[in-house]
Copies of this chain bind each other. A is one copy, B any other.
Amino acid sequence: MTGLDKIAECLQKARQVILSGHVMPDGDCLGSVAALGLGLMELGKQVTLASPDPLPELYQFLPGADRFLIGEEALKGTYDTFVVLDSSVPDRLGPLKELLVRDLVVCVIDHHVGNHDFGHFIYVDPKAAATGEIIQDLLDLLHVSSRVDIASCLYTAIVTDTGSFRYQNTTPLTHRRVARLMEEGVDAARLSVLLFEQKSLLHLRVLQAALQTLDFTSCGRVGWMSVTRETLDSLGAREEHTDGLIDYVRSLRGVEVALLFREIESGCWKVGFRSRGQVDVQQVASRFNGGGHLRAAGAVVRGEGEAVIKMVVRAVLEVMQGD
């Protein structure tokens, strides 16, 4: 593993930098890409912000959001350095994985536990609540001056990955970092409205449909909801309208493991896993070639809805029973 100062050194030498987070981008990866990208622009680098998948509408407000190149579009350019953020395996880069076989210097910065066996410079800090926390330090090392747009990107990264400072990953340092971001001009209340109080009606319609599928194991410790392709299509909803659904299950008293089954295409289910911390859902997800961490994981499972649910729930119960 590399020290963060080595990454800073590498970026100082770079000229044409492309930055990307993971497929199905979230606030941490987009905020981190935008913050570091804007910082590198200030240093006079030629910078390309990229994302394997389009930005969810929710994040269109992010400073720099309109500059992102999506998917293969980003492969056309010429770069000397590739910064991979918030991704522990190359597959998380979707089509941008192709950049890894080019003759580029690859820097990997992440806060997920994992092997991270790709890239030339690798910095991983699993104690960081968000990749955005690491980027804050990196920008300091790069002597990028305080700017409200960059601070807003970092705030977005941290507030989304900590669930508004509620998750276990939140540390005293997280709060001190956010204090500093607010002092740099972040309007936290405004960003909170943009991030948490601009739901589209489709979110509620999808929630309504999902609630009709809410079900539990007889012990009540495992709960789940599902959303079929047909439901999404009939509502005119997209996958992003299922974001956060799993939290409704996770927040129920007695539920230790929450599952969300989303049919991304006919017969192909994306399964989300959330745990309160007693059960390691990464272990369950890995049985289906998925990944994640103890409290949050995901996998893709093929099959007919009922059968997929039954199979995954059984796997959860097995892991719960220490099998």
Residues of B within 8 A of A204 (CB): 211, 214, 248, 252
A178 close to chain B: CB less than 8 A: yes
Q: Which of A15-23, A115-123, A194-202, A234-242 faces chain B?
A: A194-202
Q: Indicate whether A193 reaches chain B with its CB closer than 8 angstroms.
A: yes
**Cα distance, A166 to B165, chains bound together (Å):** 10
- The count of identical subunits is 2
**Once the chains bind, are A201 and B165 in contact (CB under 8 Å)?**
no
- Note all chain B residues with C-beta closer than 8 A to A193: 276
* Total interface residues in chain A, CB < 8 Å: 40
Docked complex Cα distance between A175 and B184 (Å): 14
Contacts of A251 in B (CB 8 A): 196-199
Tell me if A201 and B252 are in contact (CB < 8 A): yes
> Would you call the interface of chain A mostly helix, strand, loop, or mixed?
helix
A251 to B163, CA, bound (A): 16
CB distance from A225 to the nearest CB of B (A): 10
The interface bits of chain A over 228-263 (1 if a CB of B lies within 8 angstroms of the residue's CB, else 0) are: 000000000000000000001011110000000000
Give per-residue flags for A177-198: 1 if the beta carbon is below 8 A from chain B beta carbons, else 0.
Answer: 0111011000011001100111
Residue of B166, B183, B201 near A164 (CB, 8 A) is: B166
Contact B252–A200 (Cβ < 8 Å): yes
Known: A198-B253, A253-B198. A167 touches B189 (CB 8 A): yes
In this assembly, does A172 line the interface, its C-beta being within 8 Å of a C-beta of chain B?
Answer: yes
A189 partner residues in chain B, CB cutoff 8 A: 166-168, 170
Q: Which chain B positions have C-beta within 8 A of A252?
A: 199-201, 204
